[in-house]
């Protein structure tokens, strides 16, 4: 129980940092030196205004200076990261294997933030995540597992690229962004190819109601697919379903 709380708190703090990275990286703002500020009145935040979750609750979701509302997404992403970290500990325990899911979850949280806000999946995060996961897999699971992981990543990338070419031809416009294809490589490093098909399927299923509602409001809807893929991947990862096929899924439901 003690470690569940520790992992939750680490997740809260990192979740707060990942949001800063996800919001600043695509617009080229520094996220290391400059202090967080209120997006409305630009007031630099004091340390006690930066405590994840706690500050938001104490300040009742308002900036201390300008009293404007602070977006609920801040505490929500902190909470999401905290819960994911705590669940990772419950599922994987204090083993060295836990490093790989924690790395993937961290990268995916940053990607969800950037893709929701700017419709951008930063290349830097794909690159950093891929390098970390390949190196970690090599040292934790050995050379053979590392090669398998790389092959799975490439398969997922190529598979998604083919889906994009078909999609572009059918819809006569860009169906999938380049970021989504690179994202499949990163996630593919951790999942088997057949599970990647499940992830795509479930992500599309989840994105559909959202896409339809956007379609009803806007004429030219652009739906970021990355957050749906990422959330599905995180869920399957925490269920330890990294080698799971569509047929297994159907059998499970029926």
Residue 203 near Zn ion by CB under 5 A: no
Residue 44 near Zn ion by CB under 5 A: no
Of the candidate residues 41, 91, 162, 239, the single one contacting Zn ion (CB under 5 A): 41
d(CA 28, CA 22): 11
Residue 40 near Zn ion by CB under 5 A: yes
Q: Find the part of the chain contacting Zn ion (CB under 5 A) among 25-33, 65-73, 82-90, 238-246.
A: 65-73
Residue 62 near Zn ion by CB under 5 A: no
| Smallest distance, Zn ion to C-beta of residue 112, A | 25
Residue 149 belongs to what H/E stretch?
helix 143-171
Residues between 149 and 188 with contacts to Zn ion, criterion CB under 5 A: none
Residue 234 near Zn ion by CB under 5 A: no
Q: Find the part of the chain contacting Zn ion (CB under 5 A) among 33-41, 136-144, 187-195, 245-253.
A: 33-41
| 27 three-class SS | helix
Residue 110 near Zn ion by CB under 5 A: no
| 44 three-class SS | strand
| Smallest distance, Zn ion to C-beta of residue 56, A | 13
| Smallest distance, Zn ion to C-beta of residue 140, A | 44
Residue 70 near Zn ion by CB under 5 A: no
| Smallest distance, Zn ion to C-beta of residue 40, A | 4
Residue 66 near Zn ion by CB under 5 A: yes
Phi/psi for 29 (5° steps) reads -95, 145
Which string of DSSP letters, residue by residue, matches 71-116?
Answer: PTHHHHHHHHHHHHHHHHHHHH-SSGGGHHHHHHHHHHHHHHHHHH
Q: Find the part of the chain contacting Zn ion (CB under 5 A) among 39-47, 91-99, 149-157, 238-246.
A: 39-47
68: left (phi over 0), alpha (psi -120 to 50) or beta: beta
Q: Which residues contact 64 (CB under 8 A, 6 or more apart)?
A: 43, 49
| Smallest distance, Zn ion to C-beta of residue 63, A | 3
Q: Which residues contact 206 (CB under 8 A, 6 or more apart)?
A: 228, 231, 232
Q: Which residues lie near Zn ion (CB under 5 A)? A: 38, 40-41, 63, 65-66
């Amino acid at each position: 129980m003690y470690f569940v709380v520790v992992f939750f708190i680490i997740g809260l703090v990192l979740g707060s940092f990942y949001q800063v990275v996800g919001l600043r990286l695509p617009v080229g703002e520094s996220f290391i030196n400059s202090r967080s500020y209120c997006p409305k009145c630009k007031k630099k935040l004091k340390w006690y205004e930066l405590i994840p979750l706690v500050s938001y609750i104490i300040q009742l979701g308002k900036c201390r200076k300008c009293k404007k509302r602070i977006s609920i997404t801040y505490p929500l992403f902190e909470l999401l990261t905290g819960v994911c970290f705590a669940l990772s500990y419950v599922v994987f325990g204090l083993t060295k294997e836990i490093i790989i899911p924690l790395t993937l979850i961290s990268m995916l949280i940053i990607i969800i933030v950037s893709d929701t806000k700017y419709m951008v999946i930063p290349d830097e995060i794909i690159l950093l995540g891929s390098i970390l996961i390949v190196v970690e897999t090599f040292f934790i699971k050995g050379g053979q597992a590392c090669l398998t992981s790389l092959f799975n990543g490439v398969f997922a990338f190529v598979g998604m690229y083919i889906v994009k070419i078909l999609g572009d031809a059918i819809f006569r416009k860009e169906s999938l962004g380049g970021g989504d294809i690179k994202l499949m490589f990163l996630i593919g490093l951790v999942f088997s190819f057949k599970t990647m098909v499940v992830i795509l399927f479930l992500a599309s299923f989840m994105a559909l109601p959202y896409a339809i509602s956007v379609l009803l409001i806007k004429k030219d809807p652009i739906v970021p697919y990355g957050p749906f893929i990422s959330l599905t991947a995180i869920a399957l990862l925490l269920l330890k379903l990294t080698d799971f096929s569509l047929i297994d899924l159907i059998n499970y439901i029926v």
